[in-house]
């Protein structure tokens, strides 16, 4: 984050859930202040901007593009907005007023040298969009398949209710500081929303502030596929240019589910509950058919439109697409994300859960367990 070395100290799920409701804060943004004539129509991505070129002739996407300024935009559209992609003038004024109140609260924190919860979840919900999801047009995720529903109902993580924790298989990959999942890692979180893009001849690197970076070779569209059995937490990505748009195709995403008792068969949920408006519990499965197509298009010297289309026919009944507006902020600072170094959650949850189980036993059951 900009002000704090925000190492994830594994807090109770209820506290983090409350943090997601915190008011938006200060962050640079390329807010869309003018509403389109028809709020129910999503305009196409502008393609008329001609970006600078690298020394080797590719469009130059290099820079720091934190998405904290859109972290309070929900993935799915709240019901009150109906079929509208954009806020009306009155709703936008209310959003701006809320942002101003947050600015004042953060300024008071800084003046008093007291960093409260606000700076952990810094965002300003900029612009007029009603959701990150743009397809389906109703702003809602497609229905889950019956197989996915069954796996989700049996899934376990530190976020699922009434779970007894006995081993690491009862925790998701985020609990264990391994991965936020993919494409979840590309969507705004409650904190640590930094994204930095590097380029060299034949490669684009997307460095993420939290848990992972991606090295993406630029290849011919007809390059051979990876062997299906070789998987990665952030998948196998290859890129190509379509005009000034970088297109990234990702397959071989770590497959699995949250119901398994095999620690090596757990996936990282493709949507993480720390993104506002995502289904709870981090138990969405990933099949070997999962695929992500990303498109990065510069629409100005300090703006990129990022689109990600996700398809997994074993989990979702249809593909879905999210569109994010990236805003350049080269003053944004990255700090080490030392999640593992302070991660006592897994051990503590198991110890507490086992202690609770012992308390529930009768005297005769305790004697039987101890061999007496």
**Residue-by-residue pLDDT tens, the chain, 372 positions:** 433 333 333 333 333 333 333 333 333 444 455 778 899 999 999 999 999 999 999 999 999 999 988 988 999 999 999 999 999 999 988 888 877 666 677 777 777 777 665 566 665 667 899 999 999 999 999 999 999 999 999 999 999 998 999 998 999 999 999 999 999 999 999 889 999 999 999 999 999 999 999 999 999 877 788 898 999 999 999 999 999 999 999 999 999 999 999 989 999 999 999 999 999 999 999 999 999 999 999 999 999 999 999 999 999 999 999 999 999 999 998 888 888 777 888 999 999 998 887 777 666 665 665 565
- Give the three-state DSSP class for 236: strand
Q: Could you identify the residue written with the tokens 């196409």?
A: 44
Q: Where are the alpha helices (DSSP H) in the chain?
A: 13-19, 89-111, 146-153, 345-360, 363-369
Instruction: Check residue 345 and give its pLDDT.
Output: 86
Q: Could you tell me how many residues make up the chain?
A: 372
Instruction: Check residue 263 and give its pLDDT.
Output: 86
Instruction: Check residue 183 and give its pLDDT.
Output: 98
Give buried/exposed letters for 251-290 (b at 16+ CB in 10 A, else e): bbbbbbbbbbeeeeebbbbbbbbbbbbbeebbbbbbbeeb
Which residues, 6 or more positions from 111, have their beta carbon under 8 angstroms from its beta carbon?
A: none
Instruction: Check residue 293 and give its pLDDT.
Output: 98
Instruction: Check residue 24 and give its pLDDT.
Output: 36
Rounded Cα gap, residues 307 and 296, in angstroms: 7
Q: Could you identify the residue written with the tokens 């959650």?
A: 345
Q: Are 172 and 163 in contact (CB under 8 A)?
A: no
Instruction: Check residue 69 and give its pLDDT.
Output: 87
Q: Are 279 and 285 in contact (CB under 8 A)?
A: no
Instruction: Check residue 341 and give its pLDDT.
Output: 75
Rounded Cα gap, residues 353 and 167, in angstroms: 10
Which residues, 6 or more positions from 315, have their beta carbon under 8 angstroms from its beta carbon?
A: 144, 145, 147, 148, 270, 284, 285, 286, 287, 290
Tell me the sheet residues that pair with 80. none
Q: Are 173 and 266 in contact (CB under 8 A)?
A: yes
Instruction: Check residue 77 and give its pLDDT.
Output: 97
Q: Are 203 and 215 in contact (CB under 8 A)?
A: yes
CA angle, 80 as apex, 79 and 84 as ends, to 5°?
90
DSSP assignment of 337-370: --TGGG--HHHHHHHHHHHHHHHHS-HHHHHHHT
Q: Report the predicted TM-score, pTM, of the whole model to 2 decimal places.
A: 0.85
Q: Where are the alpha helices (DSSP H) in 53-145?
A: 89-111
Q: Are 40 and 84 in contact (CB under 8 A)?
A: yes
Give buried/exposed letters for 325-361 (b at 16+ CB in 10 A, else e): bbbbbeebebeebebeeebebbeebbeeeeeeeeeee
Closest CA to 33 of 112, 97, 86, 102: 86
Full strand arrangement of the beta sheet holding 213-217: 63-64, 195-200, 203-208, 213-217
Rounded Cα gap, residues 89 and 35, in angstroms: 8
Instruction: Check residue 339 and give its pLDDT.
Output: 83
Instruction: Check residue 5 and give its pLDDT.
Output: 31
Q: Which DSSP symbol is given to 271?
A: S
Q: Are strands 291-300 and 195-200 parallel, antiparallel or unpaired?
A: unpaired
Instruction: Check residue 96 and give its pLDDT.
Output: 81
Q: Are 329 and 28 in contact (CB under 8 A)?
A: yes
């Amino acid at each position: 984050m900009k002000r704090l070395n925000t190492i994830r100290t594994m807090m109770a799920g209820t506290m983090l859930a409350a943090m997601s409701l915190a008011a938006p804060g200060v962050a640079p943004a390329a807010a869309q202040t003018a509403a389109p004539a028809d709020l129910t129509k999503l305009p196409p991505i502008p393609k008329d901007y001609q970006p600078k070129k690298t020394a080797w002739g590719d469009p130059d996407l290099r820079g720091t593009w934190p998405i904290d300024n859109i972290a309070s935009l929900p993935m799915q559209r709240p019901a009150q907005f109906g079929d509208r992609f954009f806020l009306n003038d009155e709703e936008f004024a209310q959003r701006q007023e809320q942002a101003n109140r947050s600015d004042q609260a953060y300024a008071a924190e800084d003046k008093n040298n007291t960093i409260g919860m606000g700076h952990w979840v810094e965002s300003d919900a900029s612009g007029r969009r009603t959701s990150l999801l743009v397809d389906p047009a109703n702003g809602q995720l497609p229905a889950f398949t019956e197989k996915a529903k069954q796996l989700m109902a049996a899934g376990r993580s530190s976020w699922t209710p009434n779970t007894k924790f006995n081993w690491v298989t009862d925790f998701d990959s985020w609990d264990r500081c391994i991965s936020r999942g993919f494409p979840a890692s590309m969507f705004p979180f409650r904190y640590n929303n930094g994204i930095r893009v590097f380029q060299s001849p034949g490669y684009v690197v997307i460095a993420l502030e939290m848990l992972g970076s991606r090295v993406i070779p630029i290849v011919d569209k007809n390059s051979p596929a990876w062997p299906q059995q070789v998987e990665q937490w952030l998948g196998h990505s290859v890129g190509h240019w379509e005009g000034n748009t970088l297109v990234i195709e990702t397959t071989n995403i770590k497959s699995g589910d949250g119901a398994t008792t095999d620690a090596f068969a757990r996936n990282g949920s493709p949507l993480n509950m720390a993104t506002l408006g995502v289904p709870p519990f981090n138990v969405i499965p990933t099949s070997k058919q999962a695929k992500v197509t990303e498109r990065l298009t510069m629409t100005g010297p300090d703006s990129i439109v990022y689109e990600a289309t996700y398809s997994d026919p074993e989990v979702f009944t249809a593909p879905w697409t999210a569109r994010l507006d990236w805003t350049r902020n080269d003053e944004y600072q990255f700090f080490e994300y030392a999640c593992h170094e302070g991660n006592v959650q897994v051990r503590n949850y198991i110890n507490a859960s086992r202690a609770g189980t012992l308390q529930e036993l009768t005297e005769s059951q305790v004697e039987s367990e101890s061999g007496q």
